[in-house]
Amino acid sequence: MKTYIVGNWKLNFTVGEASIYLHKLLKKMPNYRDVEVVVAPSTIALQPLSLQVDRHKMKLSAQDAFYRDYGAFTGETSFSQLRGIVDFCIVGHSERRYIFGENDKMVAKKVAAAIRHKITPILCIGETESERAFGETADVIRDQLIGGLSEVADDDFDNVIIAYEPVWAISSTKAAKLATPDEIAEVVELIRQTLADTYGAELAEKVPVLFGGSVNKANAGAYLTVPGVNGLLIGGASLILDEFVDILEVAKRVRQ
């Protein structure tokens, strides 16, 4: 399985800035064999960047999309419109859940719509600080995982990625704390066990599980060597080109 390094740019960069970043990144980075490099710019930048990106080197992801293909849904962009432009789409990010009120039902429809349009969903799940404090982590993870995947057919699991992002570790969270490798290992194990119990052991092993939450070049190596972790979803640090390139090099070294 490849190692996935995904940069989530969130609401940052104009189209021009995104284009310059991509240009520099493509110049700086080699062609990695075992590392799948992905960046997720704002929706408005996706179409122009899709003409600029070298898809042999890296791929584009959307940060979100709507599950209906067309209709009276003011302000939305559909997966059908993104088809052919992106290879991935982040779905159910905690900022979507907690700022924009997305629930597991909507997330499940988005996961299904992505797959229908040949876009790999990166399904984000993770507990908040208070859920962890009340001992609810396992329940939250199971609910978000099973809920988010509820409309996925067994045959489509080749095209699904899970990202474990504890909300309390995301850099935009007030007083964010760094997750320890042991804390991550425990939840990743729970994710695989839940997948195995629900869909069978074979399927559970082939789904990539990424970690996200204040990842930077200093901790990327430790997080990538947590058992069961197949990659990283990176917010803040991915906005700094040199830092992102350093993380790619860490990923390459870990793979060797």
Q: Which residues are catalytic?
A: 93, 165
Per CB under 6 A, which region of 44-52, 62-70, 179-187, 228-236 contacts ligand PGA? 228-236
Closest distance to ligand PGA from the beta carbon of 250 (Å): 15
**Quick check: 165 binds ligand PGA (CB under 6 A)?**
yes
Minimum CB–partner distance for residue 131 and ligand PGA (Å): 17
| Binding of ligand PGA by 5 (CB under 6 A) | no
Question: Which of 110, 213, 224, 229 contacts ligand PGA by CB under 6 A?
Answer: 213
Pattern 126-145, ligand PGA, x by CB under 6 A? --------------------
Q: How far is CA 218 from CA 122, 178, 183, 221, in A?
A: 24, 12, 18, 7
- Residue closer to ligand PGA by CB (options 121, 212) is 212
Say which DSSP state 167 is in.
Answer: G
Q: Which two structure tokens, joined as six digits, stand for 133? A: 């404090």
Length reported for the chain? 256
Q: Does residue number 184 form part of the binding site for ligand PGA (CB under 6 A)?
A: no
Chosen residue from 82, 179, 215, 250 binding ligand PGA by CB under 6 A: 215
* β 120-125/161-164 pair status: parallel
Contact call for residue 219 and ligand PGA (CB under 6 A): no
Do the Cβ atoms of 164 and 191 come closer than 8 Å? yes
> Are 217 and 247 within 8 A, CB to CB?
yes
| 42 near ligand PGA (CB under 6 A) | no
Q: 236-255: which residues touch ligand PGA (CB under 6 A)?
A: 236-237
Joined together, the tokens standing for residue 57 give: 């080197």
Of the candidates 115, 120, 127, the residue with the CA atom closest to the CA atom of residue 86: 120
Q: Does 92 bind ligand PGA (CB under 6 A)?
A: no
Q: Could you say whether residue 212 binds ligand PGA (CB under 6 A)?
A: yes
Residue nearest to ligand PGA (CB): 235
**Maximum CA extent, the chain:** 50
Q: Specify the residue, 70 or 98, whose C-beta has the smaller distance to ligand PGA.
A: 98
CA distance 82 to 93: 18
Report the alpha-carbon distance of residue 191 to residue 15 in Å, rounded.
36
Any bridge partners for residue 8, and if so which? 40
Question: Residue 148 or residue 236: which is nearer to ligand PGA going by CB?
Answer: 236
DSSP state of 69: S
CA 105 to CA 93: how far, in whole Å?
14
- Residue of 152, 233, 250, 251 interacting with ligand PGA (CB under 6 A): 233
| Contact footprint for ligand PGA (CB under 6 A) | 8, 165, 170-171, 212-215, 233-237
